[in-house]
Amino acid sequence: MAGEGKRKRTTAIEEAVVATAVVTAGFALQFTLGSFDKAFLAFPVNIIALAALATLLFIKQGRLLTRLSSGSLSVILLTLVLFSTLYMGLVPGNKTKISWPFVLIYLMTLINITAVISVHLKSFSKRSIPFLLNHLGVLILLYAAGLGSADKSRYFMRVNEGEVEWRAEQSGFGAREGLTELPIAISLKNFEIEEYPPKLAIIERATGEALPKGRPLLFPAELNNFAQIEGWSIKVDTLKYLPRFAPSAYVLVTSQGTNDTLRGWVSCGNHFQRHKTLDINENLCVAMTFPEPKAYSSDVIVYTRSGKERGGIIMVNSPLTVGSWKIYQHSYDTQKGRDSQWSRFELVYDPWFIPALIGIIMMIAGAITLFWKGGAR
């Protein structure tokens, strides 16, 4: 037992020395070369690195594999990862994730996990499955998210209703300026916004503050809807909301004290109509808020250079997937609201997303094994 403890301790020191050397090398590179250029990892470099890493799975059990798969090395690496990410989380505007020390720690971690998987595969049994789900899962995910992300690119594309667009503007870090032609095109058949009804409120004319102060009451301008606010009751008598025109409501305002009724149109206005309020007295008026979008969606057909064609509806939270592309609803002409003539999409190209998803799903399964089996053994 004592001998075992001693052996463990000495190996941990060896691993600490190796880790320190790698981190020092990382800092040396950082100070001489500057930050790591992630573009370097782009295809085919990441595939070649993957093949090199995979050879670890096939080498025979021996000193090398024992060293690389050391559990103490894992603890040291995880601690280094902890400190680098703490720096990332505490210091504003840092570039930790593209710094040489971090990149080298990341690579060592990948090697360490691959080696320990290799060891476990050599004595595979049903009992290795939870281990493999967690570690193969995390390995695939870290690979795809790290080395794979060099192949990722994002673009913004604005498409007018009834037109087809191939050109887009690159977004994100180190983006090229101007429009680039993509191997993918979007034809926008129709853009649509569903809106919540605008809301009505009594506001103070001088300050614009809604009543009751501090707890303003805004109620939806729906037909025959009514509300009582500080001695006034308001009822919606007629509603008009035609294409291109701003929503407007004909409201009756009754003073609960005197029973006097006042009536008139209220509108929030839009890009081409002025807003309109209804004055109740010299202090107060009835006003309408802009309708909030409930959902917006684009009905599109997507074409690719390689001849694929896919139609569908794109909404927030519901992108369209075409090969390695995902197309997201980004925005529209907010000034025109539901009359917007164009829709803006974000296109994300990530050929490593499927592997990442496989890793994520394996890890979810691994997490289930964790709380099913628990930690006591």
Partner 1 sequence: MSWSHFIYFAFGSLTLWSAGVVSLYRAKSTTAGKILILAGILLFSVFIAGLWIAQGHPPLRTIGETRLWYSFFLIIVGFATYLHWGYKWLMGYSTLVSAVFIFVNLLKPEIHTTNLMPALRSVWFVPHVTVYILSYAMLGAATIASFVALKELRSTQRLMPLIDNLVYIGFGFLMMGMLMGAIWAKEAWGDYWSWDPKEVWAFITATAYLIYIHSRLRGYPLKYILWLLPVAFILLMITWIGVNYLPAAQGSIHVY
Residues that bind partner 1 (CB under 8 A): 8, 71-72, 74-75, 78-79, 81-82, 85-86, 88-94, 97, 145, 154, 196, 220, 292-296, 315-319, 326, 328, 346, 348, 353, 356-357, 360, 363-364, 366-368, 370-376
Could you tell me which of 330, 294, 332, 328 has the C-alpha nearest to residue 312?
A: 328
74 binds ligand HEM (CB under 6 A): yes
Minimum Å gap between C-beta 282 and partner 1 is 30
* 3 state DSSP class of 208: coil
Contact 302, 349 (CB under 8 A): no
Contact 59, 65 (CB under 8 A): yes
117 binds ligand HEM (CB under 6 A): no
In eight-state DSSP terms, residue 210 is: B
Minimum Å gap between C-beta 130 and ligand HEM is 6
Minimum Å gap between C-beta 47 and ligand HEM is 22
Cα 1 to Cα 8: distance, rounded to the nearest angstrom: 11
In eight-state DSSP terms, residue 44 is: T
**Span of 29-37, 132-140, 174-182, 334-342 interacting with ligand HEM by CB under 6 A:** 132-140
Q: What ranges make up the beta strands (E) of 196-255?
A: 199-204, 219-220, 226-229, 232-240, 248-255
Could you tell me which of 282, 273, 265, 285 has the C-alpha nearest to residue 221?
A: 265
Closest to partner 1 by CB, 12 or 45: 12
Q: Would strands 226-229 and 325-332 be described as parallel, antiparallel, or unpaired?
A: unpaired
185 binds ligand HEM (CB under 6 A): no
Cα 120 to Cα 132: distance, rounded to the nearest angstrom: 8
Binders of ligand HEM: how many residues, by CB under 6 A? 16
270 binds ligand HEM (CB under 6 A): no
**Span of 16-24, 203-211, 290-298, 362-370 interacting with ligand HEM by CB under 6 A:** 362-370
78 binds ligand HEM (CB under 6 A): yes
Residues in touch with ligand HEM (CB under 6 A): 69, 71, 74, 77-78, 109, 112-113, 116, 131, 134-135, 138, 363, 366, 370
